[in-house]
Amino acid sequence: MEKQIVELVKSSPVRGLKTKDIAKRLQINSDKDYSLLKETLHTLFSSGKLNRKGKRYTLLHDKNQIAGRLEVTRYGYGFVIPKLEGLEDIYISERNLGTAFHGDEVMVELFARNRKRRPEGAIVEVTQRKKDEFVGTLHKSKRFNFVVLDEKFIHRDIFVSSDKLNGADTGSKVVVKLTEWTSPASNPIGEIVEVLGSVGDNKAEMLAIAKSFNLRTKFPKSIELEASAFSKKDIEQEIPNRLDLRDKTIITIDPEDAKDFDDALSIEAIDDKTFLVGVHIADVSFFVKENSELDKEAMLRGTSVYLVNQVIPMLPEELSNNWCSLVPGEDRLCFSVLITMTDKAEVKSFEVKKTVINNKRRFTYDEAQEIIETQKGDCVKEILQLNELAKLLLKKRIRSGGIDFITDEIKFKMSEKGQPLEIIKKVRLQSHRLIEDFMLLANKLVAQKGKFYLDKKSFPFVYRVHDVPDEVKIKELADFVKTLGYKLNVTGGVKSKSLQKLIEQVRTKPEEVLVNEVMIRSMAKAEYSDQNIGHYGLAFRDYSHFTSPIRRYPDLIAHRLLFIYESGSKLKDVQKYKKKLPAICKQNSASERLAMEAERESIKKKQIEYIKNHLGKEYDGIISGVQSFGLFVELNEILVEGLIHIKNLPSDIYFYDEKKYTLFGRLEKTSFRLGDKVRVKVIDINEDRNEIDFELVD
């Protein structure tokens, strides 16, 4: 069909053809064939073989013109990633961006090529906008009004006429819709479609972040009604179909402020050297049926998003905080992994069962930690037994090659109005490890079940995969640590065990943070896939996500598939899942990345709010990034990151060595390397751009 379509489009070189015109000429009448035509046209456009202007498809006429997607840097210039595979990215200077924004589909006209330089060009057409609504702050004057956009990759303000302000005033956080931008010589024109609140207001700022990432902040009324239709009776009627574990001592351990409890643990001795450990996970699939409105909404969201002081849940609160949540003293439906294991933490056997439980005690991490340390308190025997097994599980994982990265996280102490009063570095407790290692084990065993059905019956499953590191990046890591006196053998690829050994070698050394940071940057990103390639970082051949179905859609899919296979019911759905699982995995990997970006943005926003009250203050920090234009520094105790621009460094002629992560001063022979300790002063902030400026303190 592709060849036929291209030939047809050739016949209308000037105006091009609409989808319905092509369908008519190809004599397509059925809905199925029309859907196939639309898919094929999308493929031809996505691959760069056809151009699209509005609803019309045309050929690419000029060999010097290339179709691609624009990615703008925070410094104004950008790159176009060509749709045709095998072509280099094209550099676009700020003055040659035309009327394109970050993420737009564009046409680029190439300049004459200089062999020693990368391809460069100018954007001549925007073929498709990534979006036309943006979040920003309104500024008004007597002569004109404009919105400074929050997105750091967009460097143009959008101008708004006074009759299009929609009641917004100076300092309002707004959503502005782009309505006109015909020439880069003129300003983008827009209209305000929503007023979110005032700058600095916590609710408005968090809503602004959610809007800028296109997060779904409200549930449609139909979804809320569907969620509120459940009652205690639904659970009572289901109990006879389940393994009844309500008389067992089952506990939860969660953060103090947690509202949704989706995992619980139990342990009982079978004999002196054998235990039955239960990992009990909320059975969300009982409430969220496939293709229901709840299910479709959960798929669109993909994950819960945890902004500072605010959660955007995947499921309505009636489910996430009530019927699906394993709250103490209430009968709740679960999907349980029941593991028979030795006192050496060796798994002898396991089974996955639909169960009903009753949470006997809800612990916070601090409460569980106190019991571990004092060996006193409620459920002390169970917690201590679980803890000993968890420590053995961790040792086994590290011995197998699991990588135990050192990363720091922060939390905020907030005022009643949502203003940050204090930034506190989180402390990693053994109670955190306890929960983490049993969740890892359950996810691993569930993936083994999935692989069993794949091997025996070719049934599909959803895996959490982590590919091996990029060869070039890992070679650069080896070369770099060699300059520090460490050896990393990467011949034929590097084993995760070798990376963990390196982490242990640098532990407590001055270069510990530096080596950890460079190593993390060399890693691939974990993602969801229907292809089981294993998890490199955990050193697991099989791994899935099963333990958080309240907040992650792939876990819900894993529950559904496992139940189909274990029960032998609805096996007719297997072929359907084979077809749609790759797209589900791809979409949920993208949803996860988006959520992480939004979460980071909300943390940065609160850090900016905090640090603006500490202008002029000095802090100790560590160089967290090195670029040709300056140094990024992360402050030790509060993990706030800012930039020392090269103009704020001691006067010198600086040379940036990318491979050594170092900025060298040619005249004074000074050098600044990733991981170096420095003392800095906060000199400026830009709240619109979420940027902090430091200067070096002698």
Q: Which residue has the higher pLDDT, 627 or 690?
A: 627
> What pLDDT does 578 receive?
92
Tell whether the model's pLDDT for residue 63 goes beyond 70: no
Q: DSSP E strands: which ranges in 324-478?
A: 331-342, 347-358, 361-364, 410-414, 420-425, 463-465
* % the chain with pLDDT above 70: 98
Q: With beta carbons less than 8 A apart as the criterion, state whether 504 and 406 touch.
A: no
Residue type, 80: V
Overall average pLDDT of the 414-430 stretch: 93
Measured N-to-C along each axis, helices 553-567 and 430-457 cross at an angle, to the nearest 10 degrees, of 50
When pLDDT is cut at 50, 70 and 90, the band that residue 7 belongs to is: confident
Q: What are phi and psi of 226, to 5 degrees?
A: -65, -40
When pLDDT is cut at 50, 70 and 90, the band that residue 55 belongs to is: confident
> What pLDDT does 281 receive?
99
Lowest mean pLDDT among 17-31, 237-251, 279-293, 426-440: 17-31
| 35 HSE (CA, 13 A, CB side) | 3
Tens of pLDDT, residues 614-673? 999 999 999 988 999 999 999 988 999 999 999 999 999 999 998 888 999 999 899 999
Residue 542 Rama label (left phi>0; alpha psi -120 to 50; beta): beta
Q: Is 407 exposed, middle or buried (0-12, 13-18, 19+ CB in 10 A)?
A: exposed
* Cα of 576 vs its chain's centroid, Å: 27
CA geometry: angle at 442 spanning 438 and 447, to 5°? 150
Q: CA dihedral defined by 524, 530, 536, 539, rounded to 10 degrees?
A: 160
Helices and strands (H, E) in the chain, number of each type: 17, 34
Task: Give the homologous superfamily in CATH for domain 65-128.
Answer: Nucleic acid-binding proteins (2.40.50.140)
* Strand pairing report for 250-254 and 263-271: antiparallel
Tens of pLDDT, residues 541-563? 999 999 999 999 999 999 999 99
Residue 193 CB neighbour total at 10 angstroms: 12
Fold match flag (133-199 vs 615-696): yes
Determine the Cα–Cα distance for residues 244 and 270; give it in Å rounded to an integer: 18
Q: What are phi and psi of 387, to 5 degrees?
A: -65, -40
Task: Give the homologous superfamily in CATH for domain 615-696.
Answer: Nucleic acid-binding proteins (2.40.50.140)
2-58 to CATH, choices 2.40.50, 1.20.120, 1.10.510, 1.10.10: 1.10.10
Q: Is 312 exposed, middle or buried (0-12, 13-18, 19+ CB in 10 A)?
A: buried
Tell whether the model's pLDDT for residue 345 goes beyond 80: yes
Determine the Cα–Cα distance for residues 418 and 412; give it in Å rounded to an integer: 10
CA geometry: angle at 582 spanning 578 and 584, to 5°? 105
Tens of pLDDT, residues 578-623? 999 999 999 999 999 999 999 999 999 999 999 999 999 999 999 9
* Most trustworthy range by pLDDT among 22-26, 300-304, 452-456, 606-610: 300-304
Tens of pLDDT, residues 132-190? 999 999 999 888 999 999 888 888 899 999 999 999 999 999 999 999 998 888 999 99
Q: What are phi and psi of 4, to 5 degrees?
A: -60, -40
> What pLDDT does 238 receive?
98
Q: Which residue has the higher pLDDT, 464 or 200?
A: 464
Tens of pLDDT, residues 246-286? 999 999 999 998 989 999 999 999 999 999 999 999 999 99
pTM for the model stands at 0.85
Overall average pLDDT of the 65-83 stretch: 89
For 455, the token pair is 């091997």
* % the chain with pLDDT above 90: 71
Q: Is 118 exposed, middle or buried (0-12, 13-18, 19+ CB in 10 A)?
A: exposed
> What pLDDT does 486 receive?
92
Nearest partner of 686 among 624, 578, 605, judged by Cα: 605
Q: Is 695 exposed, middle or buried (0-12, 13-18, 19+ CB in 10 A)?
A: middle
Please say whether the dihedral angle defined by the alpha carbons of residues 567, 569, 575 and 578, taken in this order, is positive or negative. Answer: negative
The mean pLDDT of the chain is 92
Q: What are phi and psi of 46, to 5 degrees?
A: -65, -35
List b or e across 582-591, with b for residues whose CB sees 16 or more CB atoms inside 10 angstroms.
eebbebbbeb
> What pLDDT does 75 receive?
79
Tell whether the model's pLDDT for residue 29 goes beyond 90: no
Tens of pLDDT, residues 444-491? 999 999 999 999 999 999 999 999 998 888 988 898 888 888 999 888
Residue type, 677: K
Fold entry, domain 133-199:
OB fold (Dihydrolipoamide Acetyltransferase, E2P) (2.40.50)
Tell whether the model's pLDDT for residue 62 goes beyond 60: no
Tell whether the model's pLDDT for residue 61 goes beyond 60: no
> What pLDDT does 14 receive?
58
Overall average pLDDT of the 372-377 stretch: 97
> What pLDDT does 606 receive?
94
Domain ranges for the chain, please list them.
2-58, 65-128, 133-199, 221-462+544-598, 615-696
